[in-house]
Each structure stands twice: as C-alpha cells, then as structure tokens.
C-alpha cells in the first residue's frame, strides 16, 4: 500500500501524544505564530497562503488566501474570524478527529489567520453534539491564556486576540457560513442572501472570514515549511493533503490523510482495506451527503476538486460513503431525503415545500406504490429546486435523487413494476410526511 507523509494527523499518531499545549509545543507548535508575529507582515502571510494554493476543506474548495484578501484592510471597526467546526455533513468525521486530538494545531491556524486579516476576536462554532470537542477546545484555549499565547500583546507583539467557543444546537444548516453567523448572533440559523458577502458584511455586519477546521489546521505547517512545499503536494490546482472519512462496508473504515489526487480505487482498495468479504462495491458518495453518487465505474476518478467535478460530482466535505450490492439505491436516496427534509430551515419555498414533495414520492416508490410518471416528476421537481435557493442546501438535497435516477434508474423502475422494494419485499412504510 502506498504511504504518504501526513501533515495534520501526524502529531496525534505519535505514541503518548495528548494534544496538550506542552505536547504540541514539543512538535514545533506555535513556532509558526512566533515567526509571523516577529517578522512577517499580515499582507505577506496572506500572500504565502495564496501561493500555497490551499483551498477550503469545508465543502466549496474556495482558495483560502484569496478569501482572506477580501477583508478590507482599512476597515476601522472590528473584524472577525469564525472557525467552522459544525461538521454536520453526513458521512464526514475528520474535523472531530482534529479537534479532539490536536486542538492546538487548529487554534494556531486561527491565531495566524486573525493576525493576517486584522481580527482581534475569533469564534469556534462547534456542532452541538460535540460535547467532548467543545470541552477540549475550551481547555486548550484556557492553556493559551495561561501561557500568554492569547489575550493582549501575544508573545510581546502588538497583536491581541480572544477566542470563544460557541456551541451550536444541532442544526445541519448552521454549517452554512451565513446561517452560522446568524446563529452566533443569537438568531435562528437561516442563510443570508449574498451579496453582501461575509468578507464585508459578516458577523454583526462586520468583515468576517469563515474557514473550516481542516483548512485552518494547515496554516501553521504552510508558514513553517513554506508555500512551495505545500504546493508541491497533490495536484497543480488541488494542493496539499486532504483527510477523507471513509465509511460503509469496507474492511478499515476511518479517516485517511492522503495527497489530493489519488484515485477512489486506491482509497477504497488500499487504504480502507477493500470491500468486506463477499461484498461488491455498487455506489460511492464521494464528498458527503450533498454530493452526487458515483458508481463502480468511477473508481479511477482522481480525488481532487477538478477531477471529481469533471466526473459529475464534488469533493465536498471529504466524506466518502461506500455502498455494496445489497444496498437498495431508492432506500438510500430516501434515507438522505428524510435527512434533508428534516434539516431544511424553511426559509426558501422551493427547498421547504419541494423536499416534502420529493420525500412523499420517494416513500411511495420505496413502499411499492410508485407510478411510472413519478420518475419524471422527481426530475422536474428537482430541477425546480436546483439553483433556486439562497444557499447550496437546495442543490444538495436533489443531488442524490438526480444522480441515482441517472445511474440506477432500472432500480426505481423495478420498485414500480414489481410493486415492492426488490431488496426489502416485506417493507411497510409510513407514507405520511410531517
């Protein structure tokens, strides 16, 4: 099996590493911050991150340095940085590992990012269910204040920073950056229309950067080892490593940090140990529940932003869910729609109403009461939601439907023609949608 140098999971894999401040410092932790505060101007830090090619690991893959450069330099009032630790995308569990095992890596990244954009206040917005993670981050922040690595005049410089942990209440939509900002402000987590963008009108209408945990965790390494080193890992446009969360009937499910650009085949057959005995791969969700399905035909697609997009899906959150030939694709799609319908915040009519209609049709088909015209109806409805909502949630909820209709249409037809689910013939489904 090919082995690669790890960047983000390296420390935590050392025997006895606890993630404490003293352990992190023994690995060179906070040297990047020191280097920056003692002699690199904020604009130069932004330029370094730009040159590294680092792209957001939260979903959209937006270039991180470019995002930071949008923050107005001459803004007189406060600016903010929010670290997105919501990790609510089903099938994704990499930020949790980073938070629980090496919180200082992320906190050092946050501190450097704040210095670069001129923010003196940062929030870590953490998913409500991550009780342990919230406690660990708060403990790490307390250590930093004690060591005078947070607060006023950090490391004797003129740079001041406070970091607060803000716990969510368990809503998927609060991972969307503008809903996250609303939530921190104490409002219901509903997305804002853009423009204006958070870079100018973010938290409390002030310039704000929102970055994912994994994105920020890369920052100290780029400062320490240089942008050219980082840019040489991965592919030309998708640089660095990525932590992929692999789940499903594989022998070794888990988080794998690999250079961007290896194939799904290598990830599933080598790193994740292949399919469990007797199981055959049928489908892959390549980048979290919002990403269109792939099939076994896509195993040689490269795991980088461009290749996955060119093949019709997205790398998204890095959650790779593998499904075997005993999986009913209509049931799998229904399962996802149950989730999306439940999590729709209700602000946009197409998403709020459309998810209920989609769910009703899917339940009907899976329950053996589908009609042939339902398939065209599913497609039509999906196209009326896609691109019609304020945030990308609408696109996310139709991606599994449109992609399974494309790749597994015969399975939908078999449900309708045989009047039952071929995989679960005795299934009784509640048809009512709340």
Ligand X SMILES: Cc1cc2nc3c(=O)[nH]c(=O)nc-3n(C[C@H](O)[C@H](O)[C@H](O)COP(=O)(O)O)c2cc1C
Considering beta carbons, is residue 60 or 155 the nearer one to ligand X? Answer: 60
Question: How near is the Cβ of 84 to ligand X at its closest, in Å?
Answer: 4
Cα separation, 232 vs 51, in Å, equals 11
Token pair 């409390």 is at which residue?
204
Q: Let me know if 206 is exposed, middle or buried by CB neighbors in 10 A (0-12, 13-18, 19+).
A: middle
List residues binding ligand X (CB under 6 A).
56-60, 62, 84, 86-89, 173, 175-177, 210-212, 215, 391-393, 396
72, 205 Cβ separation under 8 angstroms: no
CB of 40 to ligand X, least distance (A): 21
Contact between 193 and 390 (Cβ < 8 Å): yes
Structure tokens, 294: 């792939």
Per-position DSSP letters for 381-427, written without gaps between them: HHHHHTT-SSSTHHHHHHHHHHHHHHHSHHHHHHHHHHTS-SS-TT-
Residue 417, number of CB atoms within 10 A of its CB = 12
Please identify, using beta-carbon distances, which residue of 160 and 349 lies nearer to ligand X: 349
Closest of 322, 358, 323 to residue 340, by C-alpha? 358
Contact 209, 198 (CB under 8 A): yes
Rounded-to-integer distance, Cα 1 and Cα 266, Å: 8
Query: Is residue 245 a contact partner of residue 39, using CB atoms and an 8 Å limit?
Result: no
According to DSSP, the β-strands at 208-212 and 80-85 are: parallel
Q: Residues 262-268: contacts with CB within 8 Å, 24+ apart?
A: 262/2, 262/302, 262/303, 263/299, 263/300, 263/301, 263/302, 263/303, 264/294, 264/298, 264/299, 264/300, 264/301, 264/303, 264/320, 265/299, 265/300, 266/2, 267/303, 267/320, 268/299, 268/320, 268/322
Distance CA 71, CA 112 (A): 15
Q: CB 311: neighbour CB atoms within 10 A? A: 17
Residue 207 or 249: which CB sits closer to ligand X? 207
The tokens describing 171, both together, are: 């809503």
**What whole-number distance in Å separates Cα of residue 362 and Cα of residue 80?**
43
Q: Which residue, 215 or 333, has its beta carbon nearer to ligand X?
A: 215
Minimum distance between the CB of residue 181 and ligand X, rounded to whole angstroms? 10
* Cβ 255 to ligand X shortest distance, Å: 15
Question: Distance (Å, rounded) from C-alpha 279 to C-alpha 294?
Answer: 17
Q: What is the rounded distance in angstroms from the CA atom of residue 265 to the CA atom of residue 275?
A: 11
Nearer residue to ligand X within complex by CB, 227 or 370: 227
CB of 64 to ligand X, least distance (A): 6
Cβ distance to ligand X smaller for residue 212 or 238:
212
Between 49 and 250, whose beta carbon lies closer to ligand X?
49
Task: State the nearest-atom distance from the C-beta of 305 to ligand X, in Å.
Answer: 11
CB of 102 to ligand X, least distance (A): 17
For ligand X, the closer of residues 301 and 391 by Cβ is 391
Nearer to ligand X, 86 or 108 (CB): 86
State which residue, 57 or 282, has the beta carbon closest to ligand X.
Answer: 57
Q: Which is nearer to ligand X, 327 or 355 (CB)?
A: 355
How far the first Cα of the chain sits from its last, in Å, is 48
């Amino acid at each position: 099996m090919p082995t690669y140098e790890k960047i983000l999971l390296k420390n935590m894999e050392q025997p006895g590493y606890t993630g404490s401040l003293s352990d992190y410092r023994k690995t060179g932790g906070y040297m990047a911050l020191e280097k920056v505060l003692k002699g690199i101007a904020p604009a130069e830090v932004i330029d370094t991150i730009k040159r590294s090619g680092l792209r957001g690991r939260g979903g959209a893959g937006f270039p991180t340095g470019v995002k930071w450069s949008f923050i107005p330099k001459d803004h007189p009032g406060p600016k903010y940085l929010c670290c997105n630790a919501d990790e609510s995308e089903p099938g994704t569990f990499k930020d949790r590992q980073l938070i629980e095992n090496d919180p200082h890596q992320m906190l050092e990244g946050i501190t450097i990012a704040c210095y670069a954009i001129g923010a003196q206040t940062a929030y870590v917005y953490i998913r409500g269910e991550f009780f342990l993670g919230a406690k660990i981050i708060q403990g790490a922040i307390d250590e930093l204040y004690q060591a005078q690595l947070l607060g006023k005049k950090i490391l004797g410089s003129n740079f001041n920073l406070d970091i607060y942990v803000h716990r969510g209440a368990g809503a998927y939509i609060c991972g969307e950056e503008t809903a996250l900002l609303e939530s921190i402000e104490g409002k219901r987590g509903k997305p804002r229309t853009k423009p204006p963008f958070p870079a100018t009108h973010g938290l409390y209408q002030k310039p704000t950067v929102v970055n994912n945990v994994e994105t920020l965790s890369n920052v100290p390494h780029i400062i320490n080892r240089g942008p050219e080193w980082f840019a040489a890992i991965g592919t030309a446009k998708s640089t660095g490593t990525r932590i992929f969360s692999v789940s499903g009937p594989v022998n070794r499910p888990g988080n794998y940090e690999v250079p961007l650009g290896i194939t799904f085949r290598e990830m599933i057959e080598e790193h994740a140990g292949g399919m469990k005995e007797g199981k055959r791969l049928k489908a892959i969700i390549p980048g979290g529940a919002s990403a269109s399905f792939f099939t076994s035909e896509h195993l040689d697609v490269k795991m980088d932003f461009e290749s996955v997009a060119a093949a019709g899906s997205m790398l998204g959150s890095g959650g790779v869910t593998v499904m075997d030939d005993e999986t009913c694709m209509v049931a799998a799609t229904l399962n996802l729609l149950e989730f999306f319908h439940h999590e729709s915040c209700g602000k946009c009519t197409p998403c709020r109403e459309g998810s209920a209609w989609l769910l009703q049709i899917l339940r009907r088909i899976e329950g053996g009461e589908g009609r042939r015209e339902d398939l065209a109806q599913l497609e039509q409805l999906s196209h009326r939601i896609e691109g019609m909502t304020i945030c990308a949630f609408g696109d996310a909820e139709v991606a599994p439907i449109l992609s399974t209709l494309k790749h597994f249409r015969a399975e939908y037809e078999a449900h309708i023609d045989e009047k039952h689910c071929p995989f679960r013939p005795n299934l009784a489904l509640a048809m009512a949608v709340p």
